[in-house]
Chain A
Amino acid sequence: MSERAKPLVEVRGLSKYYPIEKGMFRRVQGWLKAVDDVSFEIHPGETLGLVGESGSGKTTVGRCMLRAVDPTAGEVWFHHEGQSWDMAALSQKELQAIRPYAQMIFQDPYSSLDPRLPVFDIISEPIRTHNLASGTDLEDQVKHLASRVGLNIDHLRRYPHAFSGGQRQRIGIARALATQPRLIVADEPVSALDASIQAQILNLLPELQREFGLTFLFIAHDLSVVEYVSDRVAVMYVGRLVETASTKRIFSMPSHPYTEALLSAVPKSEPDQHKERIVLKGETANPADLPSGCYFHPRCHYAEDICRNQAPPWVEVAPGHHAACHFAGELTLAAIGSTSS
């Protein structure tokens, strides 16, 4: 990929540690490294898929980017219309001015909507909070958003409980779009939905992306969904990035053994598909008690002494393809066979 314009978001050395307290005086015994020195960028109009298993820190990355939680260290640069802000350093007051540009879609369409507000109020709340419109203008905007995401505009006076899971997720999407954001952090937006409804939302998101010029950080654990929506993919393992590359590249030529294992663990999509399965030994490392060297070494089939003693460097395997592995580029790893050509 050639030199592109400035990224929309640049994350540099982002970390979030939580104190582990013990005893009567809640003395800090150690730190749980939920996110540890994560760096990446997202270009305008792009979808970056962030994958990892539960506890890998992917949700925390998304929340730190929007300052829903305060990061322990690092920078989150947001570039827009010639201006740049470090989201991690802004005061709450300064943040208010940026918030309309960066919004979030949540996983659970049941708990992320206020049950006591009619849908009209839910969708219009961000517009009113930021004083972007009022009166009939507000009403028109909400109706436009609602119909664009596929809601019946005659139902806007109803409350969330009257809607199905898929409809509620549409409400959440309309709310996220209300302030005309540039960036949307979508945290597992389809994983609570049934297959047929999931497809409706997966078809809707790219349409909206084109129409509204959106940039997505798409957090998910389902690799087939991530492959389907993402331009580039970043893989996390216990708080750290282990690999980033274009979607095509990471699925066809993974460079980190963890990515290889993750790909091989996905159930086959049809009965006759031939699949080489690498079943990982043991369990994900405990982020409160991390192994030495490379965090993945106790489960890695290719681990050698250096992996136990030294943290791996962040190696550029190919242009735009990075992996945190001592043997990145040297191992021959199994990929997803794109058999249907």
Chain B
Amino acid sequence: MSPLLDVRNLRTHFRTSDGIVKAVDGVSFTVDPQETLGLIGESGCGKSVTAHSIMRIVPRPGQIEGGEIHMELEGETVDLADPALSGSELRAIRGRDISMVFQEPMTSLSPVHSIGNQIRETLFLHRTRDRKEADEIAVDMLARVGIANPRQRINEYPHQLSGGMRQRVMIAIALACRPRLLIADEPTTALDVTVQAQILELINDLQDEFHMAVLYITHDLGVIAEVCDRVAVMYLGRVVEYGTVREIFYNPKHPYTVRLLRSIPKLGHTKKGEPLAAIRGTVPSPINQPPLCGFHDRCEEVMEGVCNRHIPALAEVADRHQVRCFLHSDSIQLEDGSIGTLERAPA
């Protein structure tokens, strides 16, 4: 099966007055039809910029510097990273084939337009020009996302709804044109845990119903365990580990993933007073990062002269499981993106 979305060596950089921030620096992954891929990492790791690059909504001074984003569209493939793609071509894809749900349901809806108005907007762009038909679809979508009295709600404004309800409306807008890929950027982070459970279940149900793939961006390992088929772990602009959700949780290889999994208390499993495996230090400043393993100065297993000299390449360690770490492979990622081999000093 060919993937629905194929991101290859994506590089999105921000040229600031302080230097270059390589927010996304050589990220590759694929999303298969109807699958859920989780993109996990801490703040500043580049997971949201990756999503923004796919949607082509990277804010200035950010720019896609290289790489390809192949999206399968009814038999033909479009490279979303292609700078030659026109605004109107992009708008025809956004909202119809790929949609996005954002973290803040408070700020991502327009406060001065009614809910119905905001759902109709995407429908008018992609599905129908008929007001009556659009209204019918809007009411149907609101009912599907679990909003009671949709006919009445359609004339209400976002401020009249709770956070959970607004996120449901966002999902209704995103799915109104039945996209094949939904990008969900921390859709439940601002919500309470019982509401989060409702929204996760809703996305899961709609995914089955609409046969869509989901790229799920989160910092919450629990959410990953709950909804994802495969996971890409990001650190400082690069994917450091990539595999099925079971491989990542039960057979993690990268020291960052290993520590991250052990750093969170688990309900019913972690004993009080048992120290958590915290990761020492903090994420380094992303400005003008030298070409080496981004995790080396926080890593307990760092190899001097290796990890602080080269960038490890993403290498296969098991079936459908890749790791970017010199503990597991000798592949170096060279400046031009090609792969070299590490020469280790004899022990």
Contact = CB atoms under 8 A, between A and B. Distances in A.
Contact of A267 (B222, B246, B270): B222
A280 interface: yes
Interface stretch (B88-96, B112-120, B276-284, B328-336): B276-284
B278 A200 contact: yes
Contacts of A295: none
A188 to B, nearest CB: 13
A262 B192 CA distance: 10
A268 B222 contact: yes
Interface string A321-341: 000000000000000111110
Contacts of B320: none
Interface string A228-261: 1111000000000000000100010000000001
Nearest to B223: A267
B197 interface: yes
A250 B27 CA distance: 44
B42 interface: yes
Interface string B259-290: 11001111111101101111110110000000
Given A199-B264, A203-B275, A53 B192 contact: yes
Contact of B164 (A230, A283, A336): A283
A196 B272 contact: no
A167 B259 CA distance: 20
Contact of A266 (B246, B267, B273): B267
Interface residues on B, range: 35 or more
B107 interface: no
Interface string A197-235: 111101100100000000000000111110111110000
A154 interface: no
Given A196-B279, A266-B267, A269-B222, A228 B272 contact: yes
A199 B277 contact: yes
Contact of A199 (B200, B225, B276, B282): B276
Interface in B217-256: 219-223, 225-226, 245-246, 249-250
B345 interface: no
B193 interface: yes
A227 B265 CA distance: 8
Given A195-B219, A268-B226, A336 B268 contact: yes
Contacts of B273: 206
Contacts, number: 139
A292 interface: no
B268 A195 contact: no
Contacts of A268: 222, 225-226
A228 B220 CA distance: 17
Contacts of B194: 53, 261-262, 265, 279-280
B278 A269 contact: no
Contact of B246 (A202, A206, A271): A271
A270 interface: yes
Which of B43, B221, B249, B276 is most buried by chain A, counting CB atoms within 10 A of its CB? B276
B246 A339 contact: no
A129 interface: no
Nearest to B271: A228
A109 to B, nearest CB: 12
B282 A227 contact: no
- Pick the most buried of B219, B226, B280: most chain A CB atoms within 10 A of its CB: B226
How many A residues are at the interface, by size bracket? 35 or more
Interface in A18-71: 53-54
Contacts of A167: 282
Contacts of A271: 225, 245-246, 249
A81 interface: no
Contacts of A277: 197, 201
Nearest to B228: A271
Given A199-B279, A221-B192, A280-B198, A270 B225 contact: yes
A210 B177 CA distance: 57
Given A166-B282, A224-B267, A194 B42 contact: yes
A199 B263 contact: yes
Nearest to A167: B282
A202 to B, nearest CB: 6
Contact of A196 (B200, B220, B263, B275): B263
A273 interface: yes
A147 interface: no
Q: Which of A225, A279, A337 has the most CB of B within 10 A?
A: A279
B162 interface: yes
Contacts of A269: 221-222, 225, 264, 266-267, 269
B196 interface: yes
Query: Which 7 A-B pairs give the minimum distances between C-beta atoms?
Result: A267-B222, A199-B278, A196-B279, A228-B265, A199-B263, A336-B268, A194-B42
14 contacts: A166-B282, A197-B279, A224-B267, A224-B270, A228-B265, A229-B272, A267-B197, A268-B225, A269-B225, A270-B225, A270-B266, A283-B165, A338-B269, A340-B269
Interface of A: 53-54, 164, 166-167, 194-200, 202-203, 206, 221-225, 227-231, 247, 251, 261-273, 277, 279-280, 283-284, 336-340
Interface of B: 42-43, 162, 164-165, 192-198, 200-201, 219-223, 225-226, 245-246, 249-250, 259-260, 263-270, 272-273, 275-280, 282-283
